[in-house]
Amino acid sequence: MTDLERSTREGFASRFNRAPLGLWSAPGRVNLIGEHTDYNDGFVFPFAIDRRTVVALAPRTDRLVRVASSFADEAIELSLDELIPENLHGWSAYPLGVAWALGSFGADLAVVSGFEVYIDSEVPIGAGLSSSAAIESAVALALNDVWGLGLDRPTLARVGQLAENRAVGAPTGIMDQSASLLGRTDAAVFLDCRTLDAEVIPLGFEAADLDLLIIDTRVSHSHATGGYADRRASCEAGAAALGVESLRDVAEADLGRAAELLDDETFRRVRHIVTENQRVLDTVRTLRERGPAQIGPLLDASHVSMRDDFEISVPQLDLAVETARRAGAIGARMTGGGFGGAAIALTPRVLLPVVRTAVAEAFRLAEYAAPDMFVVRAGDGAQGHRDESDSLPAAG
Ligand code: ADP
Ligand code: MG
C-alpha cells in the first residue's frame, strides 16, 4: 500500500468512524500533444501520470451520500433523491456529479445504495494535470464496482465527462478521463475522439533517457468560465460556416477556402485545430518510425499554434517554453486548456538541472511567481478493489 492509500484509508476512518469497503485510485494526466481537438471530434495523445487521486468508499444501507476530501474541511451530505446537477456546487460537484451521471449509463438511482467517500490526492489542482479527471475516474471506478454496474472503461470515461459538463458546468471533452482510465506505464493513449477508439502507444522515453518536465506557472485557470467556452464556440461557428459537422472534417488542404469564408479570428481558431490534428498523427507516426527524440519540433509547432492562432497562452507559459528550449529541451509546449496552468518540456535527462535553473532564473528576472517544476512519468491508469474481506460493512 502506498503512503497516499494509507492516508486515504485513515482519512475515511476518522471522518466516518468505520473502515471503507475498498480503495480505488486514478491518475492525473498530461497531454503530450493535441489541444482543444477533443471537442472537435479530433485526435489527442495524453498519458496518465505517476500522481494519483485515491478514494476510499463504503456503501450505506440507506439513501444518504456523504463526501469528504483532504482538500476541504466540511463533509457534504445529500440524499440520492436530491441528486440533480442543480443541487451540486463546488468541489463536491465532481464526485457527486459522477454518481448522478451513472444514472444515464445504467445505474438506477432510485434504488442504488447511498455511500460515504473520502478523497485524497497528490495531483496538483488547477495545474493542467486534470485533478478533475482523476477524481471523476476514481469515483466512477469505485461506484461501478460497489453498485455492480459492470461498465467498461471507455464508458466510465463518458460518465466522467458528463459529470464535468453537466454537474460542474465545464464544457470539456473526453480526453482527460480516457487518459486517466486507459493509461499504461511508459505509454500514451492515442485517442480518436470521434470514434472513441483508443490505442496505447509506447513512448520509449525511459530507454531514450528523456524526461518530461512539468513547469507549473501557478497562473490559475478555470474552464467553467470565459476563454475555454469561448474557444469552443468559435470552433462550432467555424464548422457551421464551413458546412461540416465538426472541424475534424476539415483537412489542411481546405484551409485556403476557409481563409476566404471566415473572419480572421475564426480562421485562426480553425487553423489551430486542423494543424493540431495533423501534428498528433505526425507525433504517433514519428514515435513509431523514428523514436521519441524526434518529436520535439512537433511540440514546438503546437505551442506556436496555441500562442498565435488559438490565443490561449499567457506570457508565463511562453517564457517557460522559450527558456526550456534554449536551455536544451528537445521540444516544449503549454499543455492543458490554457490561460494558465503548466508547460511541458521534453528534456534529455542529463540536461534537467540546466533547464530547471534557466527557467527559475528567467521567472525571477521577469518578476513572475516562482514556477513549480517536477518530472512526471507515464504510469498506469485507474485501478482499485474491495478489501480482502467478505463481510460488507454498512452504516445508516
Ligand atoms: P485541473 O483538472 O486542471 O486540476 P479543474 O479546475 O478542472 O483543474 O479541476 C480542479 C477542481 O477539481 C478543484 O477546484 C476541485 O473542485 C476538484 N478537485 C480536484 N481534486 C480534488 C480533491 N482531491 N478533492 C476535492 N476536490 C477536488
Ligand atoms: Mg480539469
Q: Is residue 327 part of a domain?
A: yes
Query: Is residue 194 domain-shared with residue 331, that is, in the same domain?
Result: no
Instruction: Flag whether 46 is in a domain.
Output: yes
In angstroms, what CA-CA distances link 40 with 92, 127, 295? 28, 23, 23
Q: How far apart are the first and last CA of the chain?
A: 29
Closest ligand, as measured to the CA of 128: 1
pLDDT in tens, 213-227: 999 999 987 665 678
Residue 128 near ligand 1, beta carbon < 6 Å: yes
The protein residue with its alpha carbon nearest to ligand 1, atom 14, reads 91
Question: For residue 384, what are the β-bridge partners?
Answer: 24
The residues pairing with 250 across neighbouring beta strands, listed in sequence order, are none
Count the residues in the chain. 396
51 within domain boundaries:
yes
Q: Is 245 helix (H, G, I), strand (E, B) or coil?
A: coil
390, pLDDT greater than 70: no
Task: Please report whether residue 312 resides in a domain.
Answer: yes
Are residues 306 and 189 located together in one domain of the fold? no
Tell whether 213 and 327 lie within a shared domain. Answer: yes
Q: Do both 42 and 53 map to the same domain?
A: yes
- DSSP for 143-188, written as a single string: HHHHTT----HHHHHHHHHHIIIIII-----SHHHHHHHH--TTEE
Question: How far is Cα 188 from Cα 69, in angstroms, rounded to an integer?
Answer: 29
- Answer yes or no: is 37 a known binding residue: yes
pLDDT, greater one: 52 or 124:
52
For ligand 1, is residue 277 a contact (CB within 6 Å)?
A: no
pLDDT of residue 50: 97
Q: What is the DSSP letter of 298?
A: H
pLDDT of 394 above 80 = no
What number is the average pLDDT over the span 357-383? 98
Write the pLDDT tens digit of every residue in 221-274: 766 567 888 999 999 999 999 999 999 999 999 999 999 999 999 999 999 999
Do 190 and 208 fall within a single domain? no
Question: For this structure, is 176 an active site residue?
Answer: yes
Residue 8 pLDDT exceeds 60: yes
44 plus 117 within the same structural domain: yes
Whether residue 296 sits in one domain with residue 152 = no
Which residue has 522559450 as its cell numbers? 322
Number of domains in the chain: 2
Percentage, residues of the chain above pLDDT 70: 97
Q: Is 147 in the pocket of ligand 1 (CB under 6 A)?
A: no
Report whether 46 contacts 34 (CB < 8 A): yes
Q: Do 148 and 293 belong together in one domain?
A: no
Q: How confident is the model at residue 391 (pLDDT cuts 50, 70, 90)?
A: very low
Among 192, 52, 205, 191, smallest CA distance to 123 is for 52
Mean pLDDT of 203-210: 98
Predicted confidence band of residue 161 (pLDDT cuts 50, 70, 90): very high
* Average pLDDT over every residue of 117-140: 93
132 lines ligand 1 (CB under 6 A): yes
% of the chain at pLDDT higher than 90: 90
Crossing angle between the packed helical segments 352-365 and 315-326, to the nearest 10 degrees: 140
C-beta separation of 64 from 114 below 8 A: yes
| Amino acid 88: pLDDT | 97
Q: Residue 157: what pLDDT?
A: 97
Q: CA nearest 379: which of 184, 123, 157? A: 184
Q: What is the mean pLDDT of residues 277-300?
A: 98
Instruction: State which residues form the domain around 253.
Output: 203-376
Give me the pLDDT at residue 395, please. Answer: 52
Question: How many Å lie between the centroid of ligand 2 and the Cα of residue 389?
Answer: 35
State pTM to two decimals.
0.91
Report residue 171's pLDDT band, with 50, 70 and 90 as the boundaries: confident
Half-sphere exposure of 86 (CA within 13 A, CB side): 2
Q: Give the ligand whose atoms come closest to the C-alpha of residue 136.
A: 1
The CATH number for 55's domain is 3.30.230.10
Q: What is the mean pLDDT of residues 314-323?
A: 98
Task: Check whether residue 157 and residue 235 sit in a common domain.
Answer: no
Q: Is the pLDDT of residue 279 over 50?
A: yes
The mean pLDDT of the chain is 95
Residue 36 known to bind ligand: yes
User: What's the pLDDT score for residue 125?
Assistant: 87
Kindly give the distance from the C-alpha atom of residue 379 to the centroid of ligand 2, in angstroms, as a whole number: 19
Instruction: Write the pLDDT tens digit of every residue in 58-111.
Output: 999 999 999 999 999 899 999 999 999 999 999 999 999 999 999 999 999 999
Q: Is residue 396 part of a domain?
A: no
Is 60 exceeded by the pLDDT of residue 176?
yes
| Contact indicator for 80, 141 with CB cutoff of 8 Å | no
Confidence of residue 23 (pLDDT cuts 50, 70, 90): very high
Asked whether residue 395 is domain-assigned, the answer is: no
Would you say 228 is a known binding-site residue? yes
pLDDT at position 226 is 77
Question: Does 234 carry a binding-site annotation?
Answer: no
Over range 187-192, report the average pLDDT: 98
Residue 31, ligand 1, Cβ within 6 A: no
- Residues 6 or more apart from 28 whose CB is under 8 A from it? 48, 49, 51, 52, 53, 123, 124, 129, 130, 131, 133, 134, 180
DSSP label at 106? T
Quick check: helix, strand or coil at residue 159?
helix
CATH number at residue 214: 3.30.70.890
Weakest mean pLDDT among 156-170, 211-225, 300-314: 211-225
Say how many Å lie between the CA of residue 67 and the centre of ligand 1. Answer: 14
172 and 290 in a common domain: no
Specify whether 182 is located in the same domain as 223: no
Question: For position 228, what pLDDT does the model report?
Answer: 86
Specify if 367 maps to a domain: yes
In a domain, 332, yes or no: yes
Active-site hit among 120, 145, 176, 300? 176
Indicate if ligand 1 lies below 6 Å from the C-beta of 55. no
How far apart are alpha carbons 306 and 300 in whole angstroms? 10
Measured from the alpha carbon of residue 53, the closest ligand is 1
Question: pLDDT tens digits for 320-369?
Answer: 999 999 999 999 999 988 999 899 999 999 999 999 999 999 999 999 99
Q: Do 351 and 211 share a structural domain?
A: yes
Least confident interval from 8-22, 151-165, 213-227, 373-387: 213-227
Please name which of 117, 109, 114, 170 lies closest in space to residue 141, comparing C-alpha atoms.
Answer: 117
